[in-house]
Amino acid sequence: MEETTSTIMAALSTLTPSQLTDLTNSILSSTRRHHLRLTFLLSSPTLFSLTLHHLHTLSLSQKTLLIARHLLSSLHHLTRHLQPASPPLSTAIRERELDAVLLLLLFCETHNHNPEALEAPFSDWRLNLSKLFSDTLLTLSSSYSSAPVIGACKGTILIPFVERVSRCWRLVGAMNCGGGGGGGKEFGEVAASAAAVVALPAVEVAVGGRECVICKEEMRVGRDVCELPCQHLFHWMCILPWLGKRNTCPCCRFRLPSDDVFGEIQRLWEVLVKSGAKE
């Protein structure tokens, strides 16, 4: 987890002060919203029982997807100032699923730090979790209210958020791949999203001698070809089938957005890695 956290912090260190302030405000708003939702969930015996039952009905792969969508939303927060504008995958999540993932992550956190709270009968879980969560909120709330945005960014807002992202990354890696987590884990090839493909520009070939690396034929001067965001050119009839199977440039492996949750996680993770490496 330390490696993942270090990678994210290295990437964020490249942001300007105004970008860092904007990011912090966005994270603070999201964190408060999730805290309010989790507080309501833990204060309602009926909602807690329904959410717990819903979690019990989910398979391991469905639980993994829940955490992955939550992780993807967090990565969008962290990378929106680091990548070129592109049509991202929607991370909208229904209220029921938000309750489920917040409770699931609370269970994971409690299991790691206060396992005795989950060793009690099911009937005691809500009260035990409520007590632990309330203690955490008491610590955080005073920091949120007293710290200025930039100061809070370095301590009570940004760093805990990055650590939560790292834990989600490790959980998704472990649950999806059957082993330990960590940065750099590949999730496999995925197709580029339709929105990203439709947005690709057509450009006219200005000079001769340029080859389409897919078909190995020369691109004729004056012909309209496809330009990827990395500025590599391809025949439309060559690149479209390619992007229907994979979201990477055939030349440099630049990743286009995908409609696949795990593919998007991998793409945004690479944005963080490359941004941090420039520092």
Q: How confident is the model at residue 237, as a pLDDT? A: 96
Residue 179 lies in a domain: yes
Q: What is the DSSP string of 60-128?
A: HHHHHHHHHHHHHHHHHHHHTTTS----PPP----HHHHHHHHHHHHHHHHHHH-THHHHS-HHHHHHH
Residue 29 lies in a domain: yes
**pLDDT (tens digit per residue) in 47-97:** 999 999 999 999 999 999 999 999 999 999 899 888 765 555 555 678 889
pLDDT band at 44 (very low <50, low <70, confident <90, very high): very high
Q: Are residues 166 and 213 in the same domain?
A: no
> To which residue do tokens 């966005």 refer?
26
pLDDT band at 177 (very low <50, low <70, confident <90, very high): low
- Domain residues for the domain of 207 are 194-243
- Per the prediction, the chain carries an average pLDDT of 84
Q: Are residues 209 and 99 in the same domain?
A: no
Q: Are residues 178 and 235 in the same domain?
A: no
**pLDDT (tens digit per residue) in 126-165:** 998 998 888 776 555 544 444 444 444 455 788 889 989 9
